[in-house]
Amino acid sequence: METRKLGNSGLEVSAIGLGCMRMTFGDKPIGDHQEMVSFLHEAVDRGVTFFDTAEVYGPFTNELLVGEALEPYKGKVVIATKFGFNLNPDGSAGWQGLNSRPERIRQVAEESLKRLRVDAIDLFYQHRPDPEVSIEDVAGAVKELIQEGKVKHFGLSESSADIIRRAHAVQPVTAIQSEYSLWWRNVEADILPTCEELGIGFVPYSPLGRGFLTGKVDENTTFDSSDIRSKNPRFTPEAIKANRAVIDLLERIAAEKKGTPAQIALAWLLTQKPWIVPIPGSRKIERLDENLGASSIELSSDDLSEINQAISNITVVGDRY
């Protein structure tokens, strides 16, 4: 698999990473532990070197899984994790509000290091902006951890351009993680230009629109109550039917390229900027192979023009949350 560098940081990762959240957290059934360990090993064998987790996924279970599975590859893979929440005191799923106070950031770092079984966290994201804590204090806290050798790179998730600039002035930001796909392109207005200006990489989560852009969801699809899509406005039967035009477009181009709608959606992201690294989530080898196959799909300038023109004429129905 080809590699990419996240902005000017020098942090080099596989062109397509792997979002690990759903291996232990989210819609049921979650993955079997040993099967997920083997799955992560298979991902490394296929050239994936960039893995995304967070303490809040579980909580803790996702970091524990990733730490166990990737320990044999220490120094050969890049693990990103996140801070920014007060977790429930009883250890149950969910959280009790945001918390990016410096002492909390340090606590999360120390605990994540143990769960991930690493000497330093490769990429440490603020999971969500905390309006109660200045971003300068957040960046300063991570800067101290970097100086101590406990963290290597600083990242932000779902942050505004202003927050990115202010953080970057205190501690250079390596990567921004936000939702980005063919049917959620809001970051193109000011986030991507800010990343380009400052030399920051961009990591799209939900690059397949929570599965919709695979073409395998239709108005008859049902979702378990534990699945975020069961309450998502974009996944009502009416919205799915209305948004079918997006899939029709992807299927048409996929047929020409001998690929799949998911591969076209990921290939489109890869063509946007050389410092964009999507992290589709997966728990099945066949899906992993399909996603990784996107890196070999070549979209011409004519293909991209056709996609952009068609998407501009499609009104996506339903809010993203």
Give yes or no: 57 in active site. Answer: yes
d(CA 200, CA 11): 11
Alpha-carbon torsion 249, 250, 254, 255, what sign? negative
In this structure, what token pair is assigned to residue 135?
A: 């971003």
d(CA 149, CA 246): 46
Contacts of 287 (CB under 8 A, 6+ apart): none
d(CA 125, CA 234): 27
Q: Where are the alpha helices (DSSP H) in 76-179?
A: 102-116, 135-147, 161-170
The angle formed by the CA atoms of residues 214, 219 and 224, to the nearest 5 degrees, is 80
List the catalytic residue out of 57, 125, 180, 205.
Answer: 57
Instruction: Let me know how long the chain is.
Output: 321
Active centre residues (catalytic): 57
